[in-house]
């Protein structure tokens, strides 16, 4: 079993424990991630006898796990860099990431079945906290090897020991900022190396990769939100539609300019469609604005028809956004032909068509036909 245990001063440990694999269904994220750049790992596992996969030593066995993570971190802004044969003395907190064998966890005992732990230190920041250190400690009392394929856990004796490489894959996942999906609330069931139990899975699974990408703000859900310039063009055309077709006056005060409306309401809806409550989505958007740091979504949705929230939810967010622009950014914008309710309704309608298979022109035509004639056209695809 892998488990998370809190220790003082904002350090956490994630331990690898020998047991049987369990099925999984969704990644779990910690509350911190690394700033963009290299995450340097000081490899200090040392020499070994003949390892089953031909690795010359323990460091190379573990580095293979780092390479596998690096191959799947595109777009996150981070990558691992291994320093082979490091002689740095492991300590914490020293902002150095050591990977080593030990009889204990910086003086604390390993659990009876614990294979390895990943500690982490972080700076508390608004939004997602910033990671500053993660040490990976393998239990000297356990018998390791380096191989692929099924484990022999439970065999007497265990002929091959435990595969250090897959344990390292799991612990480096904790270093990135991933938790255990089957120990999330509620527990989830998927195939993942980040399982709370070691098993026959010996490579990163889709769930592991999606979790890492999501934590670092990379869209992985397949919800096809349109490019921001297309949403802005639609919004400007909507202003013209209200003026020319509906005969509305430019008398709706606004603190959010056209670009802000076109950018931040879709972003709010993207969070909502990806498992965030309206309050969580609003908080994440405002943090994006204030910090410039993309906050992760709350989950990953399955493919299919994407159902938008009630329109009053979008209207409430636009009111919040309007207040934020005025009070925090000290910004005002020219009066709009469109009132806030119109923005909430028609941007949501347009985006609903876009994420459900319509191209820009199809979504625009369907939305304007609904405005002019009350005709609700079907989505373009399911």
What is the pLDDT at residue 50?
Answer: 83
The tokens describing 177, both together, are 């900022």
In this structure, of 53-57, 61-65, 193-197, the range with the lowest mean pLDDT score is 193-197
Distance CA 242, CA 246 (A): 5
Per-residue confidence band for 199, with pLDDT thresholds at 50, 70 and 90: confident
Compute the average pLDDT of residues 29-38.
86
Percentage of the residues of the chain whose pLDDT score is greater than 90: 54
Compute the average pLDDT of residues 159-179.
90
- Asked whether the predicted pLDDT for residue 304 surpasses 70, the reply is no
What is the pLDDT at residue 21?
Answer: 27
What is the pLDDT at residue 159?
Answer: 60
What is the pLDDT at residue 286?
Answer: 92
What is the pLDDT at residue 223?
Answer: 73
What is the pLDDT at residue 183?
Answer: 72
What is the pLDDT at residue 10?
Answer: 34
In this structure, of 154-158, 268-272, 273-277, 281-285, the range with the lowest mean pLDDT score is 154-158
Global pTM exceeds 0.75: no
Q: Which of 43-52, 93-102, 125-134 has the highest mean pLDDT?
A: 93-102
Distance CA 121, CA 32 (A): 9
Compute the average pLDDT of residues 10-26.
38
Distance CA 37, CA 20 (A): 36
- Asked whether the predicted pLDDT for residue 7 surpasses 70, the reply is no
For the chain, what is the mean pLDDT?
A: 84
- Asked whether the predicted pLDDT for residue 305 surpasses 70, the reply is no
What is the pLDDT at residue 8?
Answer: 25
Per-residue confidence band for 214, with pLDDT thresholds at 50, 70 and 90: confident
| More confident of the two residues 10 and 67 | 67
What is the pLDDT at residue 180?
Answer: 85
- Asked whether the predicted pLDDT for residue 14 surpasses 70, the reply is no
- Asked whether the predicted pLDDT for residue 379 surpasses 60, the reply is yes
Task: Output b/e per residue, 272-292; b: 16+ Cβ within 10 A.
Answer: bbbebebeebbbbbbbbbeee
What the chain holds in terms of domains, given with CATH numbers, is 3-215 (3.40.390), 228-373 (no CATH)
Residues 6+ apart with CB under 8 A from 328: 290
Per-residue confidence band for 221, with pLDDT thresholds at 50, 70 and 90: low
- 330 Ramachandran zone, left/alpha/beta (phi>0; psi -120 to 50): left
Percentage of the residues of the chain whose pLDDT score is greater than 70: 86
What is the pLDDT at residue 339?
Answer: 94
DSSP 111: P
In this structure, of 72-76, 142-146, 171-175, 215-219, the range with the lowest mean pLDDT score is 215-219
- Asked whether the predicted pLDDT for residue 240 surpasses 80, the reply is yes
The tokens describing 217, both together, are 């703000």
């Amino acid at each position: 079993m892998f488990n998370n245990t809190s220790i003082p001063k904002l350090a956490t440990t994630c331990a690898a424990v020998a047991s049987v694999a369990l099925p999984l269904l969704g990644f779990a994220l910690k509350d911190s991630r690394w700033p963009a750049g290299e995450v340097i790992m000081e490899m200090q596992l040392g020499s070994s006898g003949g390892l089953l996969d031909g690795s010359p030593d323990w460091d190379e066995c573990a580095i293979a796990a780092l390479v596998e993570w690096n191959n799947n971190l595109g777009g996150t802004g981070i990558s691992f860099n291994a320093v082979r044969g490091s002689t740095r003395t492991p300590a914490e907190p020293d902002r150095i990431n050591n990977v080593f064998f030990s009889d204990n966890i910086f003086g604390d005992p390993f659990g009876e079945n614990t294979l390895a732990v990943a500690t982490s230190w972080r700076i508390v920041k608004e939004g997602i906290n910033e990671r500053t250190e993660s040490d990976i400690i393998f239990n000297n009392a356990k018998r390791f090897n380096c191989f692929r394929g099924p484990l022999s856990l439970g065999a007497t004796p265990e002929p091959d020991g435990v595969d250090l490489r897959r344990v390292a894959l799991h612990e480096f996942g904790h270093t990135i900022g991933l938790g255990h999906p089957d120990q999330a609330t509620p527990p989830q069931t998927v195939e993942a190396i980040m399982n709370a139990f070691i098993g026959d899975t010996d490579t990163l699974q889709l769930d592991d990769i999606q979790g890492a990408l999501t934590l670092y703000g990379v869209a992985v859900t397949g919800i096809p939100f349109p490019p921001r310039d297309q949403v802005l063009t639609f919004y400007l055309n909507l202003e013209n539609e209200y003026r020319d077709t509906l005969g509305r006056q430019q008398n709706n005060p606004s603190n959010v300019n056209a670009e802000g409306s076109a950018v931040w309401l879709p972003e709010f809806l993207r969070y909502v469609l990806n498992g965030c409550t309206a309050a969580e989505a609003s908080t994440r958007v405002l943090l994006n604005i204030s910090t410039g740091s993309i906050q992760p979504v709350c989950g990953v949705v399955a493919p299919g028809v994407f159902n938008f929230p009630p329109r009053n939810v979008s209207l409430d967010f636009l009111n919040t956004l309007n207040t934020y622009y005025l009070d925090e950014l000290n910004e005002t914008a020219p009066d709009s032909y469109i009132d806030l309710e119109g923005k909430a309704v028609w941007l949501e309608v347009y985006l609903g068509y876009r994420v459900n298979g319509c191209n820009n022109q199809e979504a625009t035509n369907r939305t304007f036909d609904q405005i002019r004639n009350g005709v609700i056209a079907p989505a373009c695809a399911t």
